[in-house]
């Protein structure tokens, strides 16, 4: 009889001394991979005729006085901006990209550099939406005093539809490659594990028209411009499960 309290105490303490068991959560059948994993990385391109052109234009002036250099530049740049507006370029498509004033130095051996004048520049980025008028716009800029001209680079104003087509083509291309591997191995494509878009690239820039410090002159014909095509591309990585 006196032993009963001791036995009862041991019985109560025993569960506390036993190690705890960790129970793993069951894995979903859809997430479990039972076959062979195949990773396919591919890309697709879609070409379209561009509908916008981007150019950079401006005026560079020089003077022995900084103030005169800036004032002369402003007057000539006003004419350039007026020419752009007269050509139908809207305010939303005009953006000043740089205004600079830099001293010009004269270098003499064994002497410190001496400032001999100043160079002022004003540059504006222009988006041309009517490509049929692009040649006339370029000529008008030079005629009104622009002596810096870079471009054009062609692109698509709304590339979303072309990118969507490239995505579809890239996915189908990856699926076809996965099927080729499966057929070669005597297996089947069971499912797609994951899809990752590595990158969607904007329209590929075209070679640029460039002219600098050209003197205004009457031109017999508009400057010839060839638009070519703009290309968008999408990269896709897909993981497939192959099995029997």
* Domains in the chain: ranges and CATH: 51-157 (3.30.70.2970)
pLDDT at position 211 is 39
| Cα distance between residue 163 and residue 158, in whole Å | 10
For position 8, what pLDDT does the model report? 41
Residue 144: name the closest of 89, 67, 91 by CA. Answer: 89
Task: Express the helix, strand and coil content of the chain in percent, nearest 5 each.
Answer: 30, 40, 30
The three-class DSSP label of residue 189 is strand
Q: Express each pLDDT in 192-211 by its tens digit.
A: 999 999 866 665 544 333 33
Measured in degrees and rounded to the nearest 5, phi and psi for residue 133 equal -100, 5
pLDDT at 2: 52
Cβ-contact 241, 37 below 8 angstroms? yes
What number is the average pLDDT over the span 6-34? 45
Name the 3-class secondary structure at 130. coil
Note the pLDDT tens digit of each residue in 94-152: 999 999 999 999 999 989 999 999 999 999 999 999 999 999 999 999 999 999 999 89
CA gap 130, 218 in Å, rounded: 23
Cβ neighbours around 69 below 10 Å, total: 23
Which three-class secondary structure state does DSSP give residue 164? helix
- Report helix, strand or coil for 167: helix
Identify the band that residue 223 occupies on the pLDDT scale cut at 50, 70 and 90: confident
Helix axes 66-86, 134-143, angle to 10 degrees: 150
Closest CA to 83 of 224, 216, 220, 208: 216
Residue 191 CA to residue 197 CA, distance in Å, equals 18
3-state SS, 44-71, equals EEEEECCCEEEEEEEEEEEECCHHHHHH
């Amino acid at each position: 009889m006196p032993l009963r309290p001791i036995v009862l105490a041991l019985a109560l303490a025993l569960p506390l001394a036993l190690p705890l068991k960790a129970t793993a959560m069951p894995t979903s059948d859809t997430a479990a991979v039972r076959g062979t994993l195949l990773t396919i990385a591919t890309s697709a391109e879609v070409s379209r005729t561009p509908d916008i052109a981007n150019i950079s234009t401006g005026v560079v002036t020089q003077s022995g006085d900084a103030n005169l250099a800036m004032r002369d530049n402003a007057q000539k740049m006003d004419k350039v901006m007026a020419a752009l507006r007269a050509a139908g370029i809207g305010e939303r498509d005009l953006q000043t990209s740089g205004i600079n004033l830099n001293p010009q130095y004269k270098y003499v051996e064994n002497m410190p550099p001496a400032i001999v004048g100043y160079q002022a520049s004003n540059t504006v980025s222009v988006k041309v939406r009517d490509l049929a008028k692009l040649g006339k716009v370029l000529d008008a800029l030079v005629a009104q005093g622009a002596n810096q001209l870079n471009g054009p680079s062609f692109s698509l104003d709304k590339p979303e539809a072309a990118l969507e087509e490239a995505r579809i083509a890239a996915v189908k291309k990856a699926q076809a490659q996965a099927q080729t591997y499966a057929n070669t191995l005597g297996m089947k494509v069971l499912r797609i594990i994951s899809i990752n878009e590595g990158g969607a690239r904007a329209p590929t820039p075209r070679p640029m028209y460039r002219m600098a410090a050209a003197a205004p002159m009457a031109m017999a014909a508009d400057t010839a411009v060839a638009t070519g095509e703009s290309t968008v591309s999408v990269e896709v990585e897909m993981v497939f499960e192959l099995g029997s």
